Every structure is written in structure tokens, then in C-alpha cells.
Structure 1
Amino acid sequence: MDLTYWALFAGTVIAVSMIPGPSTLIAFSHGASHGWLRSTITASGNAAASACQAIAASAGLGLVLTGSATLFLTLKYAGAAYLVYVGIQLWRSAARRVSLSDRTHNLPEPARKLFAGGFTVAASNPKAIAFFTALFPQFLSPEGTGVGQLAGMVAVVCLSAFAVATVYGGLGAWLRRLELSQRAVTRIHKTTGGIFVASGIGLAASRSG
């Protein structure tokens, strides 16, 4: 695969990753709550989950998911339930958020919790595996080794997921620096939580496999 194809592949992955969704919203929320630097931990979790999904697609799990309706629906509903759970937690925690300008009482979240949040939210969407399964063959070249090309694609997916989540975390951190009022902060977290719940319900209700 020549440089043009690599650039096109990377552009496709980044463009899809930039679409607002649960993974980008959790990075945004963590950026607003904990600052840009700590949101990169969330971005790392997001990237790790995306890499695992890309590897699973490369290993053929995507074909299994698309061929087994029961397995796909099980993962689909489990992921949907988790997104609803995260949304409810964000909504309930909104009332307990202190002002973003009050740094002395805004205790830092453990790094493992930030990483786990980014990882589990990204991993909760089984459609990502099916997407990579459909995308990768479009860019595989007869020239060169398939394993080498797939490894490169997984690396691009991982780096793209990290970069996009970092950008969203930066947007959240920018709002943090504006020192918004408690009411505005509460609305941000409630809106984010509501979007998570809607995403979970939408995923569960969707008919597409």
C-alpha cells in the first residue's frame, strides 16, 4: 500500500472518529472535569479499545459477529446498557460537581478510572469491529505482506483514536478554563449524560446488525 493509500486510509479513520459519539463525549467530559493533561489518559483508554477492536477485526472476529445474530445482539445490548449506565452516572454526578474554578475541592480522578472509562465506553460498540472488517480489505494491496499492512492499519486506528479523543479533551479543558458557573457546569454534564442515555437506547433500538 503506497503513501497515497495510507493517507486516504488515515483520513477515512480520522473523519469517522471525529463524528461526535460516546467515545469523544467521555473525553470531552473528562477534559472539562479534570483538564486536558488528564483527559489524555482517557484518550489512551479509547485508543487501546480501538486497537483491540481493529485487531479483532483483523483476526476475523468481525465475520463471526456479522454471521452470528445471537452473539452480535448480546454484545450490542450489553454495550447499550453500559452506555445508559454511564449516562445515568453522569447525570447523577452533575449535581455534585463543584465549580470548575474551584480547583482546591475538585479532587483528581484516579488514572486507572479515567483509562477504564475511555476503554469501556469505546469497547461498548460492537459495530466498530464490523466497520473495521469492512474497511480494511478496501485498502489491502496485493503487494507486500497482509500481516504487515494490517499491523500498520491497527497502528493508524490507534493513533487516530488517541488524537481525536485528545482534541475533544482539549475542547472540554477549554471550557474548564472559562471558569463557568456551577449551573453551566451542571447543564454540560447533564447534557452529556442525556446523550449517553440516548445513544444507548438508540443502539438497542436500531435494527441494523
Structure 2
Amino acid sequence: MAFWILFCASVVAVSVVPGPSTLIAFTHGARFGWCKALATAAGNAFASLLQASAASAGLGLLLTESASVLLATKYLGAAYLVYLGVRMWRSKADEIEAGAGTTAAPRVSGRLFRDGFLVAVSNPKAILFFTALFPQFLGTPGSESGRMVLMTVSVGVIAFMVAAVYAGLGARIRAMSVTQTAMRRLQRATGGLFVFAGIGLAASRA
């Protein structure tokens, strides 16, 4: 199982680097608390599972070989990041207080799951990364399908755990009972970072 340990270490090393997926988990943890932000982590994990599965199915090669498909995917992802950034910039810091009741909990969790999923799935570079990474851990006769399943599932688990950790860090800020003004500034800063990330993704050559 040495290959699996090395594979997981490689995925963790990339996943822990701050980016849109970790940033949305952190922000949701700060706004909604760790338990609710686990829905964000679940959305991120589901998107990562789909991306890893797409890479194993050959979609990564299609993106590499088809410039038009890659551009379309990239621009759609960039547009969503900008939209999310603007939405977070305009949202009120006390929105969660209005939805804190038990009847609103499923609706809030669904929105957090959706945001976590869409932020993660909006980055086509993840599929390209998995397309390049997976072959490095294949090649043993008779075991490739088993390894592929193990690696794909591991990607989802790692994505969930990393997002959950970032959500926990955000929840620490919530536990400090910061003022609404401070929370508003955090939301605006996060929204600005998402807009910047969307513009950066659209402008990138890869």
C-alpha cells in the first residue's frame, strides 16, 4: 500500500493550499458554524469525486486536446466565481440569524452544499491535475481498476477532510463572537478574493 500513501500525500499537499474551495469552507464555517459548514465540505468532496472519475474516464484528455471545450469550461467556472464573489460582497452579515431556525436548516444546508460543489467543480484544472497524477500510480498488471477506484474514493475523502478543517478554522472566528461589522468585512474580503480568482481563472492560459 506504499503507492496509496504516496498518492494521498500528493493529493493532500495540493488540497491544503488555500484556494476557492478552502476559502468557501472557511467562510461558511465563520458564518454558519462548523456543523453546518460540513455541508460545504460534502459538496466539495462530491465535486472532487466527479472530477477524479471524469479524469479516469478520459475527460481530462478531451480537455487537453480540445481548446474550445477547455475554454468554455474555464469561462463558465470563472463566471460562477465572480458571481459568487459579488453575491458574498452584497450579502448581509446577519443573514444566518434569519435562517437559524430548524425549519430553515435543510434549506441552508442545501445552499452550502451547492456552493461547495459549484466552487470546486468550476475549476477544470482539477481534472487536468488528476489526469496527470493517476497514471503515475498505475501500471501493475491486473490491479489498475482496483487502484483507480481506491484513488478516486481517496480523493473524495481527502477533499472532505481538508474542507472540514478549513471550516473548523472559520468556526473558531465565529466562536470569538466577532461583531457584525467585522463579519461584514470578512465577507467583503472573501467576495473580493472570489472575484479576483474568477478573473485570474479567465485570464489564465492553462
Common fold: TM-score over 0.5: yes
Equivalence for 1:125: 123
The residue that corresponds to 2:94 in the other structure is 98
Counterpart pick for 2:36 among 38, 61, 65? 38
Q: CA deviation at 1:140?
A: 1.1
One-letter code of the match for 2:150?
G
Which amino acid letter does the alignment assign opposite residue 9 of structure 1? F
Matched-pair contact (CA < 8 Å) for 2:99–2:108: no
| C-alpha distance in 2 between matches for 1:124 and 1:44 | 16
1:145 maps to 2:143: yes
TM-score (normalised: structure 2):
0.94
Partner SS, residue 110 of structure 1? helix
Q: 1:82 is matched by which residue type in structure 2? A: Y
Letter of the structure 2 residue corresponding to residue 133 of structure 1: T
Aligned-pair identity in percent equals 54
| TM-score (norm. length: structure 1) | 0.92
- Distance in 1 between residues matched to 2:118 and 2:49, nearest whole Å: 13
Q: CA deviation at 1:5?
A: 1.4
* Equivalence for 1:79: 77
Consecutive unaligned residues in structure 2, runs of 5 or more: none
> Does the C-alpha gap of structure 1 residues 104 and 127 become closer, same or farther in structure 2, counting only changes over 3 Å?
closer
d(CA) in 2 for partners of 1:51, 1:105: 33
Residue 157 (str. 1) matches residue 155 (str. 2): yes
- Which residue in the other structure is 1:110 paired with? 108
CA–CA separation in structure 1 for the residues paired with 2:83 and 2:2: 42
Instruction: After TM superposition, list the pairs within 5 Å mapping 1:11-26 onto structure 2.
Output: 11-26=9-24
Shift of 1:63: 0.3
Gaps of 5+ in 1: none
Q: Any conservation in 1 of the 2:55–2:127 contact (CA below 8 Å)? A: yes
Distance 1:62 1:29 in 2: 30
1:136 counterpart letter in structure 2:
F
**Does the 8 Å contact 1:98/1:106 carry over to 2?**
no
